[in-house]
Amino acid sequence: MDMTTFRLRRAAAVTKRVGQQEWTIPGTYQFVVPMSVFSISAVTEGGSESGGSYISSSARGRGGDGGDLRYAISIPVTPGETLTIEVGQGGVSLGSSQNAQSGTPSRIRRGSTNLLVAASGGSSSSSPIGGNIGGGNGGVGGFASASGGSGGGGAGGYSGNGGNGVSDSGGLNAGQGGGGAGGNRGTTSSGGGGGGGVGLQGEGASGTANSTNGGRGNGGSGGIGGGTSRNGGAVGGGGAGAGGNSSSQDLIGGDGSNGGVRIIWGAGRAYPSTRTADEFP
Protein backbone atom coordinates (compact mmCIF):
# COMPACT_ATOMS: atom_id res chain seq x y z
CA MET A 1 0.00 0.00 0.00
CA ASP A 2 1.42 3.39 -0.94
CA MET A 3 1.45 6.29 1.51
CA THR A 4 -1.36 8.17 -0.25
CA THR A 5 -3.74 5.22 -0.03
CA PHE A 6 -2.83 4.69 3.63
CA ARG A 7 -3.59 8.31 4.48
CA LEU A 8 -6.91 8.25 2.68
CA ARG A 9 -8.02 5.10 4.52
CA ARG A 10 -6.86 6.46 7.84
CA ALA A 11 -8.74 9.71 7.24
CA ALA A 12 -11.90 7.80 6.32
CA ALA A 13 -11.71 5.82 9.57
CA VAL A 14 -11.13 8.91 11.68
CA THR A 15 -14.09 10.76 10.17
CA LYS A 16 -16.44 8.12 11.53
CA ARG A 17 -15.24 8.41 15.11
CA VAL A 18 -17.30 11.56 15.75
CA GLY A 19 -20.88 11.95 14.71
CA GLN A 20 -24.58 11.69 15.54
CA GLN A 21 -27.84 10.49 14.09
CA GLU A 22 -31.42 11.44 14.99
CA TRP A 23 -34.86 9.97 14.30
CA THR A 24 -38.12 11.87 14.97
CA ILE A 25 -40.63 10.23 12.62
CA PRO A 26 -42.52 7.29 14.20
CA GLY A 27 -41.40 3.93 12.92
CA THR A 28 -38.68 1.29 13.12
CA TYR A 29 -35.20 1.89 11.73
CA GLN A 30 -31.82 0.16 11.51
CA PHE A 31 -28.63 1.85 12.69
CA VAL A 32 -25.31 0.37 11.58
CA VAL A 33 -22.53 1.23 14.00
CA PRO A 34 -19.77 3.09 12.10
CA MET A 35 -16.31 1.63 11.80
CA SER A 36 -13.91 2.46 14.65
CA VAL A 37 -16.85 3.19 17.01
CA PHE A 38 -16.94 1.05 20.15
CA SER A 39 -19.17 3.13 22.44
CA ILE A 40 -22.23 5.35 22.00
CA SER A 41 -24.44 7.59 24.14
CA ALA A 42 -28.13 7.88 23.39
CA VAL A 43 -31.38 9.59 24.37
CA THR A 44 -34.94 8.38 23.82
CA GLU A 45 -38.20 10.30 24.29
CA GLY A 46 -41.53 8.50 24.22
CA GLY A 47 -44.58 9.68 22.30
CA SER A 48 -47.02 11.63 24.45
CA GLU A 49 -50.64 10.95 25.25
CA SER A 50 -53.45 12.73 23.41
CA GLY A 51 -56.06 14.86 25.12
CA GLY A 52 -59.58 13.62 25.63
CA SER A 53 -62.58 15.04 23.76
CA TYR A 54 -65.68 16.73 25.12
CA ILE A 55 -68.63 14.35 25.10
CA SER A 56 -71.00 15.93 27.63
CA SER A 57 -70.96 18.17 30.69
CA SER A 58 -70.22 15.07 32.76
CA ALA A 59 -67.71 13.57 30.33
CA ARG A 60 -65.00 16.13 29.69
CA GLY A 61 -61.66 15.01 28.34
CA ARG A 62 -58.50 15.69 30.32
CA GLY A 63 -55.11 16.78 29.01
CA GLY A 64 -52.63 14.14 27.85
CA ASP A 65 -49.50 13.11 29.75
CA GLY A 66 -46.10 14.01 28.33
CA GLY A 67 -43.70 11.32 27.12
CA ASP A 68 -40.83 10.12 29.32
CA LEU A 69 -37.17 10.79 28.54
CA ARG A 70 -34.36 8.30 29.19
CA TYR A 71 -30.70 8.51 28.22
CA ALA A 72 -27.75 6.16 28.53
CA ILE A 73 -24.00 6.64 28.37
CA SER A 74 -21.08 4.39 27.44
CA ILE A 75 -23.16 1.76 25.66
CA PRO A 76 -20.65 -0.78 24.29
CA VAL A 77 -21.11 -1.53 20.59
CA THR A 78 -19.25 -3.37 17.87
CA PRO A 79 -18.33 -1.64 14.60
CA GLY A 80 -20.61 -2.86 11.84
CA GLU A 81 -23.32 -4.28 14.12
CA THR A 82 -26.95 -3.26 13.55
CA LEU A 83 -29.13 -1.77 16.28
CA THR A 84 -32.89 -1.40 15.98
CA ILE A 85 -34.36 2.07 16.58
CA GLU A 86 -38.03 2.47 17.48
CA VAL A 87 -39.55 5.96 17.52
CA GLY A 88 -42.77 6.29 19.51
CA GLN A 89 -45.92 7.84 18.10
CA GLY A 90 -48.04 10.37 19.95
CA GLY A 91 -51.57 9.34 20.79
CA VAL A 92 -54.14 10.33 18.16
CA SER A 93 -57.22 11.92 19.66
CA LEU A 94 -60.54 10.17 19.18
CA GLY A 95 -63.28 12.72 18.71
CA SER A 96 -65.84 10.18 19.92
CA SER A 97 -64.17 9.51 23.27
CA GLN A 98 -63.34 11.51 26.38
CA ASN A 99 -60.50 9.08 27.01
CA ALA A 100 -56.95 10.08 26.15
CA GLN A 101 -54.99 7.78 23.84
CA SER A 102 -51.58 6.63 25.05
CA GLY A 103 -48.34 7.36 23.24
CA THR A 104 -45.97 4.52 22.37
CA PRO A 105 -42.40 4.07 23.65
CA SER A 106 -39.15 4.97 21.94
CA ARG A 107 -36.40 2.34 22.23
CA ILE A 108 -32.99 1.18 21.11
CA ARG A 109 -32.47 -2.56 21.10
CA ARG A 110 -29.87 -5.12 20.17
CA GLY A 111 -31.55 -8.12 18.67
CA SER A 112 -35.19 -8.86 19.47
CA THR A 113 -35.07 -8.72 23.28
CA ASN A 114 -31.99 -6.83 24.50
CA LEU A 115 -33.15 -3.29 25.31
CA LEU A 116 -30.30 -0.80 25.58
CA VAL A 117 -32.40 2.25 26.50
CA ALA A 118 -36.14 2.91 26.41
CA ALA A 119 -38.59 5.68 27.29
CA SER A 120 -42.28 5.00 27.84
CA GLY A 121 -45.01 6.89 26.05
CA GLY A 122 -47.34 9.24 27.87
CA SER A 123 -49.64 7.63 30.50
CA SER A 124 -47.06 5.16 31.86
CA SER A 125 -43.70 5.38 33.61
CA SER A 126 -40.40 4.01 32.35
CA SER A 127 -38.46 1.43 34.32
CA PRO A 128 -34.70 2.11 34.46
CA ILE A 129 -32.60 -0.40 32.53
CA GLY A 130 -29.09 -0.80 33.93
CA GLY A 131 -27.10 1.60 36.08
CA ASN A 132 -26.21 4.18 33.44
CA ILE A 133 -29.72 5.45 32.78
CA GLY A 134 -30.96 8.96 33.57
CA GLY A 135 -33.91 11.13 32.68
CA GLY A 136 -37.36 12.18 33.87
CA ASN A 137 -41.00 11.26 33.42
CA GLY A 138 -43.50 13.23 31.40
CA GLY A 139 -45.80 15.65 33.19
CA VAL A 140 -49.36 14.63 34.01
CA GLY A 141 -52.17 16.16 31.96
CA GLY A 142 -54.68 18.41 33.74
CA PHE A 143 -57.99 16.99 34.84
CA ALA A 144 -61.17 17.85 33.01
CA SER A 145 -62.15 21.45 33.55
CA ALA A 146 -65.67 22.80 33.97
CA SER A 147 -64.77 26.12 32.36
CA GLY A 148 -62.54 25.01 29.52
CA GLY A 149 -60.11 22.39 28.28
CA SER A 150 -57.26 21.27 30.49
CA GLY A 151 -53.57 21.56 29.63
CA GLY A 152 -51.31 18.76 28.44
CA GLY A 153 -48.30 17.59 30.45
CA GLY A 154 -44.80 18.62 29.43
CA ALA A 155 -42.19 16.24 28.06
CA GLY A 156 -39.84 14.60 30.54
CA GLY A 157 -36.47 16.24 31.14
CA TYR A 158 -32.89 14.99 31.39
CA SER A 159 -32.76 15.25 35.19
CA GLY A 160 -36.35 16.05 36.16
CA ASN A 161 -39.96 15.62 35.16
CA GLY A 162 -42.04 17.63 32.74
CA GLY A 163 -44.50 20.14 34.16
CA ASN A 164 -48.05 19.02 34.87
CA GLY A 165 -50.91 20.36 32.79
CA VAL A 166 -53.32 22.78 34.47
CA SER A 167 -56.97 22.14 35.34
CA ASP A 168 -59.42 24.48 37.09
CA SER A 169 -57.75 24.38 40.48
CA GLY A 170 -54.17 23.79 39.38
CA GLY A 171 -51.30 26.25 39.33
CA LEU A 172 -48.92 26.91 36.47
CA ASN A 173 -46.19 24.31 36.15
CA ALA A 174 -42.74 24.82 34.69
CA GLY A 175 -40.58 21.91 33.56
CA GLN A 176 -37.73 20.51 35.63
CA GLY A 177 -34.26 19.35 34.62
CA GLY A 178 -34.64 20.49 31.04
CA GLY A 179 -38.21 19.20 30.70
CA GLY A 180 -41.12 20.93 28.98
CA ALA A 181 -43.71 22.97 30.86
CA GLY A 182 -47.32 21.91 31.28
CA GLY A 183 -50.00 23.70 29.28
CA ASN A 184 -52.46 26.10 30.88
CA ARG A 185 -56.20 25.46 31.10
CA GLY A 186 -58.56 26.82 28.48
CA THR A 187 -61.52 29.15 28.73
CA THR A 188 -65.22 28.65 28.23
CA SER A 189 -64.63 29.10 24.51
CA SER A 190 -61.39 27.24 23.88
CA GLY A 191 -59.42 24.12 24.61
CA GLY A 192 -56.40 24.01 26.87
CA GLY A 193 -52.77 24.40 25.81
CA GLY A 194 -50.57 21.52 24.77
CA GLY A 195 -47.61 20.56 26.94
CA GLY A 196 -44.14 21.76 25.98
CA GLY A 197 -41.74 19.47 24.16
CA VAL A 198 -38.04 18.81 24.69
CA GLY A 199 -35.01 18.80 22.41
CA LEU A 200 -32.70 15.83 21.82
CA GLN A 201 -29.38 17.69 21.86
CA GLY A 202 -28.81 17.56 25.59
CA GLU A 203 -29.95 19.20 28.80
CA GLY A 204 -30.51 22.92 28.68
CA ALA A 205 -33.04 25.28 30.20
CA SER A 206 -36.35 23.98 31.51
CA GLY A 207 -39.64 25.05 29.97
CA THR A 208 -41.44 27.95 31.64
CA ALA A 209 -45.13 28.22 32.38
CA ASN A 210 -47.48 30.23 30.18
CA SER A 211 -50.00 32.28 32.17
CA THR A 212 -52.35 32.89 29.23
CA ASN A 213 -55.55 30.86 29.37
CA GLY A 214 -55.24 28.19 26.74
CA GLY A 215 -51.54 28.96 26.52
CA ARG A 216 -49.15 26.24 25.51
CA GLY A 217 -46.41 25.11 27.82
CA ASN A 218 -42.99 26.30 26.74
CA GLY A 219 -40.46 23.75 25.57
CA GLY A 220 -37.41 22.72 27.56
CA SER A 221 -33.83 22.02 26.42
CA GLY A 222 -34.37 23.47 22.98
CA GLY A 223 -37.75 21.85 22.40
CA ILE A 224 -40.67 23.83 21.04
CA GLY A 225 -43.74 24.88 22.98
CA GLY A 226 -46.93 22.90 22.98
CA GLY A 227 -49.77 23.55 20.58
CA THR A 228 -52.75 25.72 21.39
CA SER A 229 -55.87 23.55 21.68
CA ARG A 230 -54.62 20.83 19.38
CA ASN A 231 -51.15 19.38 19.65
CA GLY A 232 -48.36 18.78 22.08
CA GLY A 233 -44.91 20.14 21.35
CA ALA A 234 -42.27 18.11 19.55
CA VAL A 235 -40.69 16.09 20.99
CA GLY A 236 -42.82 14.42 23.68
CA GLY A 237 -45.23 17.17 24.85
CA GLY A 238 -48.74 16.08 25.85
CA GLY A 239 -51.88 16.96 23.92
CA ALA A 240 -54.43 19.35 25.40
CA GLY A 241 -57.87 18.41 26.62
CA ALA A 242 -60.89 19.70 24.71
CA GLY A 243 -63.04 22.65 25.64
CA GLY A 244 -66.62 22.66 26.94
CA ASN A 245 -70.05 22.64 25.35
CA SER A 246 -70.39 26.07 23.74
CA SER A 247 -70.93 26.02 19.99
CA SER A 248 -67.69 27.97 19.58
CA GLN A 249 -65.57 25.56 21.58
CA ASP A 250 -63.03 23.06 20.42
CA LEU A 251 -64.68 19.73 21.24
CA ILE A 252 -61.88 17.39 20.17
CA GLY A 253 -58.80 16.81 22.31
CA GLY A 254 -55.35 17.52 20.92
CA ASP A 255 -53.05 14.88 19.46
CA GLY A 256 -49.94 13.99 21.42
CA SER A 257 -46.44 14.69 20.13
CA ASN A 258 -44.30 12.02 18.56
CA GLY A 259 -41.19 10.76 20.30
CA GLY A 260 -37.59 10.77 19.17
CA VAL A 261 -34.23 9.00 19.40
CA ARG A 262 -30.72 10.40 19.02
CA ILE A 263 -27.36 8.63 19.14
CA ILE A 264 -24.00 10.38 19.49
CA TRP A 265 -20.47 8.98 19.36
CA GLY A 266 -16.95 10.25 19.82
CA ALA A 267 -14.45 10.33 22.68
CA GLY A 268 -15.72 12.37 25.61
CA ARG A 269 -19.26 12.87 24.30
CA ALA A 270 -22.05 11.87 26.66
CA TYR A 271 -25.57 12.74 27.73
CA PRO A 272 -26.96 14.66 29.48
CA SER A 273 -24.82 17.65 28.44
CA THR A 274 -21.20 16.83 27.55
CA ARG A 275 -20.63 17.82 23.92
CA THR A 276 -24.14 16.70 22.99
CA ALA A 277 -24.67 19.28 20.23
CA ASP A 278 -23.93 18.28 16.64
CA GLU A 279 -20.24 17.70 15.90
CA PHE A 280 -18.62 16.86 12.61
CA PRO A 281 -15.13 15.55 11.77
For residue 172, which phi and psi values (nearest 5 degrees)? -70, 145
Instruction: Please give the sequence-ordered ranges of beta strands (E in DSSP) within the chain, or none if there are none.
Output: 19-23, 27-32, 39-45, 69-76, 82-87, 106-110, 114-119, 133-134, 260-265
Q: Mapping DSSP to helix (H, G, I), strand (E, B) and coil, where does residue 59 land?
A: strand
Nearest-angstrom CA–CA distance, 132 and 193 = 34
pLDDT reading at 277 higher than 90: yes
Report the predicted TM-score, pTM, of the whole model to 2 decimal places.
Answer: 0.87
Q: How far is CA 88 from CA 94, 187, 194, 218, 268, in A?
A: 18, 31, 18, 21, 28
Residues 20, 45, 279: CA angle, nearest 5 degrees: 15
What span, in angstroms and rounded, lies between the C-alpha atoms of 210 and 188?
A: 18
Tell me the average pLDDT of the chain: 82
**Model pLDDT for residues 143-174, shown as the tens digit of each residue:** 876 667 788 888 999 999 999 988 876 677 88
- The per-residue pLDDT for range 76-91, each reduced to its tens digit, is 999 999 999 999 998 8
